[in-house]
Homo-oligomer: A and B are copies of this chain.
């Protein structure tokens, strides 16, 4: 890896944590004022536990292209399914740039992914349970799927082993970070059940507005900044994009977010008579999420289209989960990250073209010619099927088991008081007078 590329990727990685700050603020704003401190302190703890678990065993199992791995044989080919690195980072050579950079980026990526479930579990998830769930997520679920896509695992090998284009391509983590995080959000929200007061006795959802729109919308700005780093660092490290493409990646990321929020504003404006602030913000993040997988391999106009579709999807999906599935997702995490991420993976199949021969672990197999072939589409679909058919049951099962051992939901009294008072003994905004009408409408 040339030194200039190391310098570039290093700095891009250091921008990535802004996405963590941004998503944390959005989650907090989407929740109630009486659990605002809980949401943010839990975010910091989740980030800390995720980093710790990942360092202990996650990175060992995720690995990187070329690292030793557990292998199974099928159809006469060898497929990697789990890396065999050392625990506790023992023996990692931090002077070996691609490895140390990938590790550093992954610590921030796993932290971001681990925060996604919190958005769906606001106002009712115990701090201790969130930490335990995160340890399972960052120590096992995330590294497993990330190994398959980014670590030279079987999904990445679909290209060379099964002639499916370049294998699964996910530059910035639409699937690896967001769909995995979003499906975990779905699992935990499902297990926790809806907040008291969310559904009427007849089962109709009521709107519980987020307590601070400024936090939500400011979080959107911060998230964009983090994504500029995440997408470009991931594209270079995990799909071999040329460093000169960072400007294009930044343009694409920005346009996708912009198109998504405009789509959400227009659609909610048309459907409800007035634009909806929370859904519009969710649209923006959905656009970012969807832009990630293909960010280096589409044109700005294509990125705009990808973002607009993501914004529209989120708009409908938020209502759909709430109304038809009875899942209470205050932060919209499932729609934004699971659905947005899956759409991002699919968008690679539809829009991406690969200009250089270095893409993926089959680098050099194709010539310099652009390829937009059916094989690539198949690879992306296999990835989506794996997410829904394998990752979702896995993460549901892990959290279901955890819930047996250590119930994840706070006691009823905790929801009534607010998590801040119940778990920490103090509110987030002690000097401000707040409303508390909503306490009546229990279910």
Instruction: Tally chain A residues at the interface, Cβ within 8 Å.
Output: 106
Give the CA-CA distance A148 to B11 in the complex, in Å: 30
**8 Å CB interface, A43-80 against B:** 43-45, 47-49, 51-52, 55
> Does A17 sit at the interface, judged by CB under 8 A?
yes
**8 Å CB interface, A1-18 against B:** 3-4, 6-8, 10-15, 17-18
What residues of chain B lie closer than 8 Å to A49, measured between beta carbons? 258, 262
Count the copies.
3
Chain A 273-284 near chain B by CB (<8 Å), digits 1 or 0 = 111110011001
Interface contact A255-B51, CB-CB below 8 Å: yes
CB A17 to nearest CB in B, in angstroms, measures 6
A13 is contacted by which of B4, B218, B250 (Cβ under 8 Å)? Answer: B250
What residues of chain B lie closer than 8 Å to A250, measured between beta carbons? 13-14, 104
CB A264 to nearest CB in B, in angstroms, measures 10
A11 is contacted by which of B12, B221, B255 (Cβ under 8 Å)? Answer: B12
What residues of chain B lie closer than 8 Å to A425, measured between beta carbons? 272-274, 276
CB A161 to nearest CB in B, in angstroms, measures 31
Q: Given that A89-B299, A213-B36, A300-B89 are known contacts, is A218 also in contact with B21, CB under 8 Å in the complex?
A: yes
CB A91 to nearest CB in B, in angstroms, measures 11
> Does A160 sit at the interface, judged by CB under 8 A?
no
Give the CA-CA distance A52 to B51 in the complex, in Å: 37
Q: Given that A214-B428, A277-B37 are known contacts, is A52 also in contact with B245, CB under 8 Å in the complex?
A: no
CB A66 to nearest CB in B, in angstroms, measures 18
What residues of chain B lie closer than 8 Å to A325, measured between beta carbons? none
> Does A24 sit at the interface, judged by CB under 8 A?
yes
What residues of chain B lie closer than 8 Å to A257, measured between beta carbons? 48
> Does A120 sit at the interface, judged by CB under 8 A?
no
> Does A271 sit at the interface, judged by CB under 8 A?
no
Interface of A is mostly: helix
What residues of chain B lie closer than 8 Å to A41, measured between beta carbons? 213, 217, 265, 275, 277, 280-281
What residues of chain B lie closer than 8 Å to A251, measured between beta carbons? 55, 100, 103-104, 107
> Does A177 sit at the interface, judged by CB under 8 A?
no
**8 Å CB interface, A231-284 against B:** 242-248, 250-251, 254-255, 257-259, 261-262, 265, 272-277, 280-281, 284
> Does A295 sit at the interface, judged by CB under 8 A?
no
Interface contact A10-B221, CB-CB below 8 Å: no
What residues of chain B lie closer than 8 Å to A18, measured between beta carbons? 225
Q: Given that A55-B255, A100-B248, A218-B21 are known contacts, is A14 also in contact with B228, CB under 8 Å in the complex?
A: yes
Q: Which of A384-392, A401-409, A432-440 has 4 or more CB atoms under 8 Å from chain B?
A: A432-440
Q: Given that A214-B215, A251-B107 are known contacts, is A431 also in contact with B14, CB under 8 Å in the complex?
A: no
Chain A 290-314 near chain B by CB (<8 Å), digits 1 or 0 = 0000000001110010000000000
CB A229 to nearest CB in B, in angstroms, measures 7
Interface contact A247-B10, CB-CB below 8 Å: yes
Give the CA-CA distance A222 to B273 in the complex, in Å: 35
Chain A 80-101 near chain B by CB (<8 Å), digits 1 or 0 = 0000000011000011010011
Q: Can you name the residue of chain B whose Cβ is closest to the Cβ of A9?
A: B247
What residues of chain B lie closer than 8 Å to A261, measured between beta carbons? 44-45, 48
> Does A178 sit at the interface, judged by CB under 8 A?
no
What residues of chain B lie closer than 8 Å to A350, measured between beta carbons? none
User: Which positions in A face B, CB cutoff 8 Å?
Assistant: 3-4, 6-8, 10-15, 17-18, 20-21, 24-25, 28, 32-34, 36-37, 40-41, 43-45, 47-49, 51-52, 55, 88-89, 94-95, 97, 100-101, 103-104, 107-108, 127, 209-215, 217-218, 220-222, 224-225, 228-229, 242-248, 250-251, 254-255, 257-259, 261-262, 265, 272-277, 280-281, 284, 299-301, 304, 420, 423-435
Instruction: Sample 12 A-B pairs with CB under 8 A, ordered by A number.
Output: A11-B11, A20-B221, A37-B213, A43-B217, A48-B258, A55-B304, A104-B250, A210-B430, A275-B424, A276-B424, A276-B425, A432-B434
The 5 closest A-B pairs by CB, nearest first: A48-B258, A37-B213, A40-B217, A33-B431, A21-B221
